[in-house]
Amino acid sequence: MQATIWHNPDCGTSRKTLAILQETPGVTVEVIEYRKQPFSRPKLEQLFHDAGLTPREALRTRGSPAEELGLLEGAPADRILDFMVEHPILVERPFVETDKGVRLCRPQEKVREIL
């Protein structure tokens, strides 16, 4: 099984999720450090759709410029997506995609739902 993780090595949950993927027999992992290789808007839209999340639900508010950018109250989804593409740190992490689906893996055990 192929798994892709949008990873932030500074995030403990992301590191733990990556470890679960690497320790699972039969899983080949592609690691995308999204701060170095940012999301495209179509990819974000696809990930959110497949995970059943809105951009607001996938918005990282802690440790991000979300408040300064005016994204916490009443910002439309399109505006949130535009800023997520420009500032990848606004995307909650980690997202994992396999042929069984997409999950925002918070907590990290959620990754097991798609393995």
Which candidate in 4, 6, 10, 11 is catalytic? 11
- AA identity, residue 34: Y
Q: Which residue ranges make up each domain of the chain?
A: 2-114
For residue 45, the model assigns a pLDDT of 98
For the chain, list residues with pLDDT below 70. none
Whether residue 107 has a cis bond before it, omega within 30° of 0: yes
pLDDT at 30: 98
Task: Tell which CATH classification among 3.40.50.10800, 3.40.50.1370, 3.40.30.10, 3.10.105.10 matches the domain 2-114.
Answer: 3.40.30.10
| pLDDT recorded at residue 54 | 97
Q: Which pLDDT score, from 0 to 100, does residue 85 have? A: 97
Residue 79 has a pLDDT of 97
Omega before residue 94 within 30° of 0, cis? yes
Q: How far is CA 26 from the centre of its chain?
A: 23
pLDDT in tens, 12-37: 999 999 999 999 999 999 999 999 99
Instruction: State the DSSP H helix or E strand holding residue 29, giving kind and residue range, or none if neither.
Output: strand 28-33
Active site includes 11? Answer: yes
pLDDT given for residue 44 in this prediction: 98
Q: Report the half-sphere exposure of 98 (CA within 13 A, side-chain side).
A: 19
